[in-house]
Chains A and B, each alone.
Chain A
Amino acid sequence: GAVVSQHPSRVICKSGTSVKIECRSLDFQATTMFWYRQFPKKSLMLMATSNEGSKATYEQGVEKDKFLINHASLTLSTLTVTSAHPEDSSFYICSAGPGRDQPQHFGDGTRLSIL
């Protein structure tokens, strides 16, 4: 079945560091990918829609300068958390699907811890 790979699975770094997370669709092309964030005991919250070849679309309240998204190819989207601070510590997860009317497949997520 369709597979989405996300890397790294865990990051621990100092405050002020920028962290890049990769999301790859392994056996299908995805013009659109999605980035979610999950706080403890909360639901997955959509952060942004990553669009291949164009700018990402951010949900209300998400800082686009803090969370840079690049979708340079049909199989890769990256999320960069710039100048990360402890409040950015969270679980980030991406999804992609072969088409609008097919279920999204999720990566295994990235646990980001900022010290």
Chain B
Amino acid sequence: DQQVKQNSPSLSVQEGRISILNCDYTNSMFDYFLWYKKYPAEGPTFLISISSIKDKNEDGRFTVFLNKSAKHLSLHIVPSQPGDSAVYFCAASADTGFQKLVFGTGTRLLVSP
């Protein structure tokens, strides 16, 4: 049973525009949500997180929104840059802080110049 789902395997965006990556979850016990970015042949790199007591967290060009009632979160990147092209993973944890993560299947973002 996939508890964290990223239904869009890929997304293409033009440079300068907004990229919106979506993630849905089923486990209401999740209390931390994270986004990781992964380049080929490298491990995932932490981007941004949000706890379940918040509905928005912003860090530079990256903003994560959480809608607990819909069990949905999204990552907004604005403006998108070609260097943002990578696979983005949504992850969640339940009562373990940032540990023992449950990952989505990832969305491949391609930002074209």
Residues of A within 8 A of B (CB): 4, 6, 9, 32, 34, 36, 41-46, 49, 93, 95, 97, 99-109
Contacts and interface: CB of A to CB of B under 8 A. Distances in A.
Interface of B, secondary structure class, is loop
Nearest to A102: B98
Contacts of A102: 98
Contact of B43 (A6, A97, A103): A6
Contacts of B4: 43
Contacts of A101: 97-98
B25 interface: no
B86 to A, nearest CB: 14
Interface of B: 2, 4, 34, 36, 41-46, 49, 89, 96-106
Given A100-B97, A103-B34, A4 B106 contact: no
Contact of A106 (B45, B98, B99, B102): B45
Nearest to B102: A46
Given A41-B105, A43-B4, A44-B89, A34 B45 contact: no
A41 B10 CA distance: 12
B33 to A, nearest CB: 12
Nearest to A104: B98
